[in-house]
Amino acid sequence: MIALDTNVLARAIAAELDADSATRAQQHDARALLTSGVDLFVPVTVVQELEWVLRSVYAMLPADIADLFDDLLAVENITVDRAVAVAQANDGYRRGLDFSDALHLALANVCESLATFDTGFVKKSRRLGLRPAVTAPLG
């Protein structure tokens, strides 16, 4: 099994029409690896970073990123670390949460609550009825 770094997935996914020859070679190699049938592993930290890169660097829309994550979770030879939490986070992302916040919440599922100073996260999670509860720290 081969673990993938964010840059390999980003090169395979992102369309860079003005790419130089080195970038085009990386795109080719990344796509070849992803379609090789070799067993691949995507750490949960790579998923989190990939969302940021696709949104911030490549200006992909959240709905397109969520669709891509659904596809990634469905690929037979790719094991996504904490796949259940990633799927849950992706659902929260589709419902309007920041992906990282949604992933933090999904990974905190054994806790009674998640404490944050992010009032927007608190309000959205309450409106969506998400668990565990997202609350401000006791102060």
Length of the chain: 139
Surface-to-core class of residue 76, CB atoms within 10 Å of its CB (0-12 exposed, 13-18 middle, 19+ buried): exposed
Lookup result for tokens 């673990």: 3
**55, pLDDT greater than 60:** yes
For the segment 4-50, what is each residue's pLDDT rounded down to a tens digit? 999 999 999 998 878 899 999 999 999 999 999 999 999 999 999 99
> ω into residue 132 within 30 of 0, thus cis?
yes
pTM equals: 0.92
For the segment 69-128, what is each residue's pLDDT rounded down to a tens digit? 999 999 999 999 999 999 999 999 999 999 999 999 999 999 999 999 999 999 999 999
Q: What is the pLDDT of residue 46?
A: 98
- Percent of the chain with pLDDT strictly greater than 90: 94
Q: What is the pLDDT of residue 18?
A: 87
Q: Which long-range contacts (CB under 8 A, 24 or more apart) does 93-96 make?
A: 93/51, 93/62, 93/65, 93/66, 93/69, 94/62, 94/63, 94/66, 95/128, 96/124, 96/128
Angle at 71 between CA 41 and CA 126, to 5 degrees: 95
Q: What is the pLDDT of residue 139?
A: 52
Q: What is the pLDDT of residue 17?
A: 79
Per-residue tokens: 127: 């409106």
Contact call for residues 44 and 81 (beta carbons, < 8 A): yes
